[in-house]
Amino acid sequence: MPQILFLAAVAVVGYLGYRAFVREAQKVSARVRREERERKTKAVGTLVKDPVTGEYRPAKDDD
C-alpha cells in the first residue's frame, strides 16, 4: 500500500512539474516570437494603446 501512495505522489508532482514547464515554455516562445517580429520590422519596441488616454506607450515586459 505505501508503494501505491508513493507512486501516486510522484505522479502528481511530475504532472504539476510538467504543467509548470509547459507554461514557462509558452511564455518564452511568445517572447521569442515578439522579438523576432520586432527584429523583422526593425522596431525598437511594441506600442500599446492606453484605453483611458488614447496615447500609445511602449509595452511592458511581463517577465
Predicted confidence at residue 51, as pLDDT, reads: 92
Query: Where are the domains positioned within the chain?
Result: 2-58
pLDDT tens for 2-19 read 899 999 999 999 999 999
Q: What is the 3-state secondary structure (H, E, C) of 2-62?
A: HHHHHHHHHHHHHHHHHHHHHHHHHHHHHHHHHHHHHHHHCCCCCEEECCCCCCEEECCCC
**pLDDT exceeds cutoff 90 at 43:** no
